[in-house]
């Protein structure tokens, strides 16, 4: 195939392909148009059916409303008529005839239906009034919300405008400052004043003859700053012993050692008593033999109660407390039983 014939073939093929594409596009467009028309007809039919249903419902509601109004208007009249239809025994006729029985049953049925209709109408009116109230409340709330949204939008717009004007003003000031670099602005004046203030605080700048004097001065300034920063921390370390809301422990009066110990630990944790003051806090909560035992413990180590925590750890003191007040001593228990039988009921502790 020559180059000319090949070019003619390509041209024909290209034209055929373009026509095919156009035909496909036309078919697709027709399909879309037909689908849109079908959907439109379906929507119209559904809308017409919905309108028919709504019209029938409105007609039925109007008819029921008219009947109910007529019934309400003639309630007493219909009640009187139906009550007259009910058989009432008399001296002349004690038993009703079959026709009177049927008429009485029909009258009772109609009276029941009428009363049910009246009650339903009362409930309907109540629901309608509640619905009107709720709709009015909803409308008022929507109006209030819309007003609040509009107000907020206006405030935001004003803030944006103010921000834009401020940015524009700052840009203009910067442009003017860059246009006149030789002039002294207020910022430069404030910076010079601050430099002069720093020089006045440090002292005569001519005394800085070398780097050693500058380093020593800077170190002195840092030392002073450190002292100023640490002074409030030292002042805050003063601890005031809190008041404990527990009864004082008295070994002679048979206080429950375990429950009192748990309450004391809870109070100390809640009051955030430091570890160095926990022994002093416990001493203040003891009376009688328990306080005497702690005094004896401090005297044995030849220290005061305030210094006891520096020589006995809390764990060691806790073990001593458990041994003294919470672990049953067989010898002391036997002595208590003998003393109780012979003298009285006061237990011995020593």
The 10s digit of each residue's pLDDT in 55-90 is 988 888 788 777 777 777 777 888 888 888 888 888
Confidence of residue 256 (pLDDT cuts 50, 70, 90): confident
Task: Please give the Cα distance from 77 to 285 (Å, whole number).
Answer: 91
Extract the tokens encoding 84: 């007259």
Mean pLDDT value of segment 160-168: 87
Contact 309, 278 (CB under 8 A): yes
Ordered alpha helix ranges (H), 180-210: 186-202
| Whole-number Cα distances in Å, 219 to 27, 176, 196, 197, 232 | 91, 43, 21, 20, 21
Report the SS3 class of residue 69.
Answer: helix
How far from the centroid of its chain's Cα atoms is residue 108's Cα? 61
Residue of higher predicted confidence among 227 and 60: 60
Whether the pLDDT of residue 299 is over 60: the answer is yes
| Dihedral sign (CA 161, 163, 166, 167) | negative
Over the stretch 121-151, which tens digit does the pLDDT of each residue have? Answer: 888 888 888 988 999 999 999 999 999 999 9
Q: Quick one: pLDDT band at residue 350, thresholds 50, 70, 90?
A: very low
On average, the pLDDT of the chain sits at 76
Lowest mean pLDDT among 12-16, 155-159, 252-256, 342-346: 342-346
Confidence of residue 235 (pLDDT cuts 50, 70, 90): very low
Q: Which two tokens stand for residue 44?
A: 């119209």
Residue where the block lists tokens 């035909």? 23
The tens digit of pLDDT for each residue in 33-47 reads 999 999 999 999 999
Share of the chain above pLDDT 70, in %: 69
Give the pLDDT mean for 2-17: 56
């Amino acid at each position: 195939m020559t180059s000319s014939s090949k070019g003619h073939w390509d041209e024909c093929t290209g034209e055929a392909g373009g026509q095919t594409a156009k035909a496909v596009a036309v078919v697709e467009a027709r399909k879309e148009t037909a689908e849109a028309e079908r959907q439109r007809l379906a929507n119209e039919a559904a809308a017409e059916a919905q309108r028919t249903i709504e019209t029938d419902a409105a007609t039925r509601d109007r008819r029921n409303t008219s009947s109910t109004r007529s019934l309400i208007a003639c309630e007493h009249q219909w009640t009187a008529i139906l009550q007259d239809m009910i058989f009432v025994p008399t001296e002349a006729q004690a038993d009703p005839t079959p026709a009177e029985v049927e008429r009485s049953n029909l009258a009772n049925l109609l009276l029941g239906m009428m009363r049910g209709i009246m009650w339903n109408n009362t409930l309907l009116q109540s629901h309608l009034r509640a619905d009107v109230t709720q709709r009015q409340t909803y409308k008022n709330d929507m109006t209030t919300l819309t007003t609040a949204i509009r107000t907020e939008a206006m405030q935001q717009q004003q803030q944006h405008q103010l921000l834009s004007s401020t940015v524009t003003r700052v840009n203009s000031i910067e442009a003017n400052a860059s246009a006149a670099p030789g002039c002294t602005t207020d910022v430069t004046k404030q910076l010079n004043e601050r430099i002069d203030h720093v020089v006045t605080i440090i002292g005569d700048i001519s005394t800085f003859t070398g780097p050693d004097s500058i380093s020593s001065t800077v170190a002195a300034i840092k030392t002073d700053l450190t002292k100023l920063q640490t002074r409030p921390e030292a002042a805050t370390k003063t601890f005031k012993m809190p008041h404990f809301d527990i009864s004082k422990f008295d070994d002679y009066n048979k206080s429950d050692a375990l429950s009192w110990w748990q309450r004391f630990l809870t109070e100390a944790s809640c009051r955030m008593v430091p570890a160095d003051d926990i022994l002093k806090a416990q001493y203040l909560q003891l009376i009688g033999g328990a306080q005497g035992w702690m005094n004896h413990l401090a005297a044995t180590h030849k220290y005061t109660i305030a210094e006891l925590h520096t020589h006995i750890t809390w764990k060691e003191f806790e073990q001593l407390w458990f041994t003294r007040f919470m672990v049953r001593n067989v010898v002391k228990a036997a002595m208590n039983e003998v003393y109780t039988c012979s003298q009285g009921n006061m237990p011995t502790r020593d």
